[in-house]
Amino acid sequence: MNLANQESIPSHTRSRHLERAAREALSRATLDSRVSVLDDAEWVQVRTKLVEFANILRDWDQKARNNARGLGNVEVICQREP
C-alpha cells in the first residue's frame, strides 16, 4: 500500500510510515554497500534479525529505566564481586 496517496490516513501516521520506510531503505542500501547485494529473501531474513535485536535493546533499556526509578529488577551486567 502506498501510504503517501492515502488521504484517509492521518498525516502523522503517513509521516511515521514514510519515515520507517526511508530508514529501512537506508539500512538495506548500507548493508548492500558493505556486503554483496542482498536479494529480497535475504533482506527479509536480515531485517527480521535486526528487528529482533532492536527489540532486545529496547527491552533492556526499558528494564534499566524501570530499575533506575525503583520500579523493578534488572540484571546487572558485569556485577562486581564482593
**With contact defined as beta carbons under 8 Å apart, do 29 and 21 qualify?**
no
- Over residues 20-75, the pLDDT tens digits come to 888 888 887 887 777 777 788 888 888 899 889 989 999 988 888 877 777 555 45
Q: Which three cell numbers stand for residue 74?
A: 534488572
What residues does each domain of the chain span?
1-36, 38-82
| CA neighbor of 46 nearest in space, from 34, 63, 61 | 34
What is the spatial distance between Cα 46 and Cα 57, in angstroms, rounded to a whole number? 17
Would the pTM count as exceeding 0.85?
A: no
